[in-house]
Structure 1
Amino acid sequence: MTEEQAKELLQKYLDQQANPEEEKKVEEWYATLQAKDVLVSAKQKAAIGEQMLLRLKAAMYEKPKYNKVLKLQTFYKIAAAVLVMVTLGLAIWKISSQVKPAGNQVTASTGATERKRIILPDGSVVLLGPSAKLSYPKVFASNSRHIALKEGEAFFDIAHQENRPFTVHTTTGVDIKVLGTSFKVKSYQASKQLEIAVVTGKVAVSNKKGKLATLVRNDSLTYDKNDGIAAIHKIKATVFVEFAFDGASLNQVIAKLQYVYSIKILLNDSALGNLKTTASFNSRQSPEEILDIICSLHHLKFNGSKSHKTFNIYR
């Protein structure tokens, strides 16, 4: 039965037009839903409460067809029916929201054509693709962050916290460990392969037997679930992330750039690290382009190694 059909049936019950079989179905719903522990936000409860109050008031002051005074029995029946609607509404909200707290864990899922943006407790962002399911704690531990991608495809933009590693667990037994980066994971139970693509930063991929690989920007790993073999290849990034600095010190900017691009940046004068920077960048830009902008802001210069992996900033 669809939500619309359920509403129609409940309205018939309210209007006392339901047949005995329909009345029985509504009352069974009520008995079942009453026993369930349904969790909704305070805002949702308030909205439902207001609707319930309006319906009850309307029932109390409605002009009766046969008597001037609304019979108490009829009022109670309407009140009970409204309560059924409210309780069912809570259940429908719980199902349709598809973000369900259970104890310390929260489960988020998407439909076959749905995409969803999830903000984790640490500020990290997860973009869930269609038919995906993600589980994460309401509050992360003080020294680690663990979540589980149980099905589907998801893009992760992880908040950088050096002392609190972030790990994504998958149903294949493959784990992805990061400190702060952005990457995509595709893990469907019906597929024999798991795929990981790193957009920025660095991740360590492992299974129960040990470490499989360390991936950096534009690296992609394909893992065969059947034989446990991983293959790595380079990709051209199709997803880009923004990173902004609002009055951050040059030391903070450097720390972020080093992790995003897996590079080393050195200052020839430690005092330069206190310079403040306000700017926004995109991972589409190269490290050289970003360093050129930063150095222009502070009237500095930089040079890089032949491998483009080490850079020096100086006056």
Structure 2
Amino acid sequence: MDKGTLLALLEKFRQGECSVEEEALLSKWLDALEQDDTLPVLSATEMQQIKQDMQQQIWPDPTIRPRRIGLRIARIAAVVVPLIIGGYFAQQYLQHPSRQLAHSSMNWQTVKNTSGQIQRIVLPDHTVALLGPYSTIQYPSLFPGNARPVKLTEGKVFFDVVKDTRPFSVEDNSGIRTTVLGTSFTIEASNALRISRVAVATGKVQVERQGIKPATLGPSQRLTFSEQSVKQDSVAATDLLAWTKGEIILRNATLQDLILTIKNQYGITATTALDVHQGNYTVHIPATMTLQEVLDIIEKISYRPKIHFSMQNDQLRVH
């Protein structure tokens, strides 16, 4: 039952129009929320002020309360107050994503995919995350009542986000934060290459980083942050989701795109002295191919610039 429904039932209770079933529903929520310990910690002054504001909305005429509102409705009102507080903090999070509550008190779980296969993870809110090869994410064992924070430490992940009043956000190590309410999107980040990328499959997301104006992305839109630039372009939905189906598809890709793809798929960091913003490569191959097979194909099709690969001390060099 959402906040609006609960407030509507509360009003019916005040008017003496609640059915037995509706009153039982209010009682059930009262019992459940009295045991809820996920609400944000507020100072006594802040809590008292919010309670006074809420009580003014619930009982606009103080002369009515003694006659028509008994102890039970007062207890139910006490349930509504923390619900509104939770909604208030969710709203503040959406308007000011940088003002997140401290995450240090949460019990964070770390999932590291050390294989070359996609790993499927179900988050506490039932959001599905497809964790790419050699990728790592962190998330609380239980999302708090006002947010759904996730951290992408390294790699690539596709999120199919369950709709919820709590904002769902993903932040990488570079400070790129992507916030949604319910959608599906891919986010990838490489600490070694200093690249972060967000691409939307369905719905909308807001992407922001300190010092840069927040951007809203819709379906098939993509935003790439590199060390010295921010680039927005588009990508076909089939290409965007190809990696989740075991394919590698690149169209008109730059050398930077190639290097990032190799890093995410094979866990190998490539370095080069070439201009990574050059190139025009189109690749469509199964992800089951070995790294050497992929490199051989890229060498054959590459031009402007023509590239070659070599391994030195377990590191891939492009020249």
TM-score by length of 2: 0.41
